[in-house]
A = this chain, B = another copy of it.
Amino acid sequence: MAEPTDLRADAARNRTRIVEAARDLFRTRGIDVPMSTIARRAGVGVATLFRRFPSREALVAEVFAEQRAHCEALLRKAVADPDPWNGFRRLLEFMCAEQIEDRGFTEAFLASFATGSAHWQQRVVAESAFDTLVRRAQDSGRLRRDFAVSDLVMLMMANAGLRNAPPEHARDLSRRLLDYLLQSFGTEGDAPLSPASPLGLADHLTAHSGSRRAAAGG
């Protein structure tokens, strides 16, 4: 018979295997991958998976805990950057690169912007930090006045489209897109832009869920 210590060791091993399988699957297939697929990849039963992680949200939170902390630290650092434009630019570079590398991360990050999410408080903090970042960069004269927060939604959705490129090209395309956009963000154009969209950060998620539903229903 196994002793309590062995049981605990077993449980810890299972937990690690589940988190590693989920991290891998979230990265390549997004956070909506079936729980049964995660259990199969981890080599555990579905019952064991649900004993360790009673909800998908709990598993997502565990998998992305480190990256989320990194992202929040980066947002704080960006806001505190003595050069506001530099802080703004580097945050966008980080987010675009992360979105290309890891499909699940962006979804997890944006999921925290959904109303009613357990991370709703973090959402409020992040939104207000991003507002501050934009305002500071605009006040410094480096970011154009007509840049809107919804332009970040535009960028994230456009960048997501580049994930359809062969993996070895997606990162280069993403860098190039951001280079072009940063040049426009950083210069007051002589021609006025089309009006900014009223979309907020939370809409990015809603939109993506909608498209997933449509695809599943097709």
Binding site for B on A (CB under 8 A): 29, 33, 151, 153-154, 157-166, 169, 172-173, 175-177, 179-181, 183-185, 187, 189, 191, 193-199, 203, 206-208, 210-211, 215, 218
Contacts and interface: CB of A to CB of B under 8 A. Distances in A.
- Copies of chain A in the complex: 2
Nearest to A194: B175
13 contacts: A29-B218, A154-B173, A157-B161, A158-B158, A159-B161, A160-B161, A165-B197, A169-B197, A169-B199, A172-B194, A179-B189, A179-B191, A181-B184
A191 B187 CA distance: 13
Contacts of A215: 215
Nearest to A212: B164
Given A29-B218, A180-B185, A173 B197 contact: yes
Given A159-B161, A161-B161, A193 B179 contact: yes
Contact of A179 (B158, B160, B194): B194
A160 B165 contact: no
Nearest to A196: B176
A31 B206 CA distance: 25
A185 B208 CA distance: 29
A190 B59 CA distance: 46
Contacts of A154: 162, 173, 176-177
Nearest to A156: B161
Contact of A162 (B157, B169, B193): B157
Given A165-B207, A183-B184, A183-B189, 6 more contacts: A161-B162, A169-B197, A169-B198, A172-B197, A183-B187, A183-B191
